[in-house]
């Protein structure tokens, strides 16, 4: 518990940040130089795939901690926040799944297909914002429990 959960949590954040930066570096570099480097785009796709896989592992480790852990439990006074994190993490999987599905539709170069490019850029942006929200909730639950409003889980109280 002490090693697996932090490893999975920090690993998917790193992969998804790398995907976000690679995608927007691809965009801004391409706009400035009119050379859109496909390797940056492929890096964003690969990092997103790795991020999605580690999100799933992180959710499994997080649920294990939520039911058997010592810091915050689903049955405790902050259990509702865990339910919110599970729902947001599931939404995160849907968002990055949409990125992966839409980005696979590109035939030659992403910049030539404006609609697919817009989907890719929007899903990466919304995804990283959601990662920040989920991370903030998790940080508050672990380090600042006294400042978080009590929100018992509706099904486990």
pLDDT tens-digit map of 97-147:
999 998 888 777 778 888 888 999 999 999 999 999 999 998 898 888 888
Average predicted confidence (pLDDT) for the chain: 87
Euclidean distance between CA atoms 36 and 27, whole angstroms: 7
Q: Tokens 């480790």 label which residue? A: 61
Euclidean distance between CA atoms 131 and 116, whole angstroms: 22
90 pLDDT exceeds 80?
yes
Euclidean distance between CA atoms 131 and 126, whole angstroms: 9
Q: Quick one: pLDDT at residue 5?
A: 66
Q: Quick one: pLDDT at residue 34?
A: 86
Q: Are 143 and 111 in contact (CB under 8 A)?
A: no
Give the pTM: 0.88
Over the stretch 2-16, which tens digit does the pLDDT of each residue have? Answer: 666 667 778 999 999
Indicate the pLDDT class of residue 94, thresholds 50, 70 and 90: very high
Average pLDDT over every residue of 75-100: 91
156 pLDDT exceeds 70?
no
Provide, rounded to the nearest whole percent, the portion of the chain with pLDDT above 90.
46
Q: Tokens 């058997």 label which residue? A: 68
């Amino acid at each position: 518990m002490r090693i697996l959960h932090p490893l999975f949590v920090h690993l998917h954040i790193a992969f998804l940040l790398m995907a976000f930066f690679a995608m927007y570096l691809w965009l801004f570099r391409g706009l400035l130089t009119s050379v859109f480097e496909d390797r940056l785009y492929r890096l964003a796709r690969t990092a997103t795939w790795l991020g999605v896989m580690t999100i799933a592992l992180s959710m499994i480790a997080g649920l294990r901690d939520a039911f058997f852990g010592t810091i915050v439990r689903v049955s405790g006074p902050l259990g509702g926040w865990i339910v919110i994190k599970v729902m947001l993490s599931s939404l995160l999987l849907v968002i990055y799944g949409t990125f992966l599905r839409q980005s696979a539709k590109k035939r030659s170069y992403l910049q030539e297909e404006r609609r697919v490019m817009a989907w890719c850029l929007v899903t990466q942006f919304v995804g990283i914002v959601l990662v920040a929200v989920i991370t903030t909730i998790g940080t508050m639950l672990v380090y600042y429990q006294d400042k978080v409003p009590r929100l018992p889980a509706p099904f486990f109280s």
